[in-house]
A and B are shown apart, each in its own frame.
Chain A
Amino acid sequence: MAGNIKRLIDTIITQRAHGDKILEGTVKIKLILKGIDPKNYTAQSDDDPVVMGKLQEMIDEYKLNAEG
């Protein structure tokens, strides 16, 4: 499977920033500081379970909708 990391990252950015471009940047920096750089993941990136686990934890913590 591939592309799920990017999907989860996009979920976090979209749902936390609500279309606010400045907030989108802030959320991306927060992810980088947590060790997950959004620019390193594309729709073709392998589904690394460790990274996916970290992102899923964030989605649960932030009470976001994982289905996007």
Chain B
Amino acid sequence: MNIKTAFSVESDIREAVADIRQQLGGFEAEMLVFFASSVFDPERAARLMGDAFPHTVTFGCSTAGEIVSGRMLTHSVVAMAFNRDSLKGVKVEVLENITTGNPVDKAFDAFERHFQTPPAAMDRKKYLGILLIDGLSGAEERVIDRIGDLTNINIAGGSAGDDLKFSATHVYANGKSYTNAAVLAVLEPAGPFSFIKTQSFSPLPQKLLVTKVNEAKREILEFNHKPGAIAYAEAVGTSVADAPTRFMSNPVGLVFEGDPYVLSPQRIMGDSMHFCCAVKEGMELNLLESTDIIADTKKALEAARSELAGISGIIAFNCILRTMELRQKGLSDTYGELFAGVPTIGFSTYGEQFIGHLNQTAVMIAFH
């Protein structure tokens, strides 16, 4: 086995790290990705994981819940280790000051030096990226947009969480914890890999053209030249007062060749709507309706399994809104079981990244 997972539900971070170290004993990890509940002190979690694996590239982030092969967890640490037979190369860069600076270009200079290939020339079938980003920074769009300008390789990632406290989220790299930052890892896996983007929504015919926004505040002032909240309420067929009750089951989405890129409303303020991600003027969005999260995810996993002729590891970035829906419907165990038998780690995110910054989506990397 060239990819190995471990997890711990020990309540003390020192014991949790020791538990994971013991489970991975004898496994020569080149890279270790870990996701740790926000109940753990971030500085200690990062330092202890770095200390426990001194010859391994370690990175991770805080979460709003964790996923490990076959189970959805809370208050735990989950980890996935890759040995040399599964990974030809990896380079991790910390992007600091993401809200106002432009650390992406500098990171890609480092990737170019490491892999001896200009970012624009990197082969998407040979390299991939993992992005873990401060989930309260509001900077996801500018970071992923800049990454997309520089390279054609696919980046999958998640916004770090803090168990719905919305106080502080953290990313970790090589023994340190950071806020207002992102960790970007470029990997050269030894075997084939694939990406899964699954969301349990189908487009409805109602169109919402974004005609006025405050992009920095992720606020839609107008849809279809009408106040945003009124236009949304009309589209779902309810009143503005009742519209928030429809947010979970009727978000909006950019629909490209039938595939929705989900953008979730967060709240109504006056006549405008705040979203969990930024929207640009001129975007034509469709109202979406929810479908079966278990069936859709199962189908997406089966498609990836078939494409890769078997999966030896999955890293999953699962939107916290999906996790909440699963909890509300009593389906958390059923969802976790979809990943049984495949080494899997993941976490409940405050946003997902794949080409753009998304909501109510599960983005996964599947390794052959």
Interface residues of A (CB under 8 A from B): 16-17, 20, 22-23, 25-26, 28-30, 32-37, 58, 61-63
Known: A23-B152, A25-B257, A62-B120. A37 touches B283 (CB 8 A): yes
Determine the distance from Cα of A22 to Cα of B356 in the docked complex, in whole angstroms.
Answer: 16
Residues from chain A with a CB closer than 8 A to the CB of B124 are: 20, 22-23
Determine the distance from Cα of A61 to Cα of B284 in the docked complex, in whole angstroms.
Answer: 26
Query: B257-298: which residues lie under 8 A (CB-CB) from chain A?
Result: 257, 261, 280-284
Establish whether residues A35 and B282, one from each chain, have CB atoms under 8 Å apart when the complex forms. Answer: yes
Q: Which residue of B lies closest to A33 (CB)?
A: B356
9 tightest Cβ-Cβ pairs between the two chains A and B? A35-B280, A33-B356, A30-B148, A35-B282, A29-B355, A29-B256, A23-B152, A32-B254, A26-B355
Known: A23-B124, A33-B145. A16 touches B280 (CB 8 A): no
Residues from chain B with a CB closer than 8 A to the CB of A26 are: 152, 154, 355
Establish whether residues A61 and B149, one from each chain, have CB atoms under 8 Å apart when the complex forms. Answer: yes
Residues from chain B with a CB closer than 8 A to the CB of A25 are: 256-257
Determine the distance from Cα of A34 to Cα of B355 in the docked complex, in whole angstroms.
Answer: 11
Q: Which residue of A lies closest to B277 (CB)?
A: A33
In this complex, the interface size class of chain B, counting residues with CB under 8 Å from chain A, is 10 to 19
CB distance from A35 to the nearest CB of B (A): 4
CB distance from A40 to the nearest CB of B (A): 8
Q: Which residue of B lies closest to A17 (CB)?
A: B152
Known: A33-B355, A34-B145, A62-B120. A28 touches B283 (CB 8 A): no
Establish whether residues A35 and B283, one from each chain, have CB atoms under 8 Å apart when the complex forms. Answer: yes
1/0 contact string of B141-175 vs chain A (CB within 8 Å) = 10001001100101000000000000000000000
Q: Which residue of A lies closest to B144 (CB)?
A: A33
Determine the distance from Cα of A65 to Cα of B314 in the docked complex, in whole angstroms.
Answer: 39
Residues from chain B with a CB closer than 8 A to the CB of A22 are: 124
Determine the distance from Cα of A33 to Cα of B144 in the docked complex, in whole angstroms.
Answer: 11
Establish whether residues B283 and A32, one from each chain, have CB atoms under 8 Å apart when the complex forms. Answer: yes
Establish whether residues A35 and B281, one from each chain, have CB atoms under 8 Å apart when the complex forms. Answer: yes
Establish whether residues A37 and B284, one from each chain, have CB atoms under 8 Å apart when the complex forms. Answer: yes
Kindly identify which residue among A17, A28, A36, A62 contacts B256, using a CB–CB cutoff of 8 Å: A28
Determine the distance from Cα of A62 to Cα of B256 in the docked complex, in whole angstroms.
Answer: 23
Establish whether residues B356 and A29, one from each chain, have CB atoms under 8 Å apart when the complex forms. Answer: yes
Establish whether residues B280 and A33, one from each chain, have CB atoms under 8 Å apart when the complex forms. Answer: yes
Residues from chain A with a CB closer than 8 A to the CB of B283 are: 32, 35, 37
Establish whether residues B282 and A29, one from each chain, have CB atoms under 8 Å apart when the complex forms. Answer: no
Establish whether residues A29 and B261, one from each chain, have CB atoms under 8 Å apart when the complex forms. Answer: yes
Determine the distance from Cα of A33 to Cα of B143 in the docked complex, in whole angstroms.
Answer: 13
Can you give 7 contacting A-B residue pairs, CB < 8 Å? A16-B152, A20-B124, A26-B152, A29-B254, A29-B261, A35-B281, A35-B283
Residues from chain B with a CB closer than 8 A to the CB of A62 are: 120, 149
Known: A23-B124, A26-B152, A62-B120. A32 touches B281 (CB 8 A): no
| A20-B124, A23-B124, A32-B256 known, 15 other contacts, Cβ within 8 Å | A16-B152, A22-B124, A25-B256, A26-B154, A26-B355, A28-B256, A33-B141, A33-B145, A33-B280, A33-B356, A34-B145, A35-B283, A37-B283, A37-B284, A63-B120
Kindly identify which residue among A17, A20, A30, A35 contacts B355, using a CB–CB cutoff of 8 Å: A30
CB distance from A19 to the nearest CB of B (A): 12
Pick the most buried of A25, A33, A34, A36: most chain B CB atoms within 10 A of its CB.
A33
Q: Which residue of B lies closest to A16 (CB)?
A: B152
CB distance from A42 to the nearest CB of B (A): 16
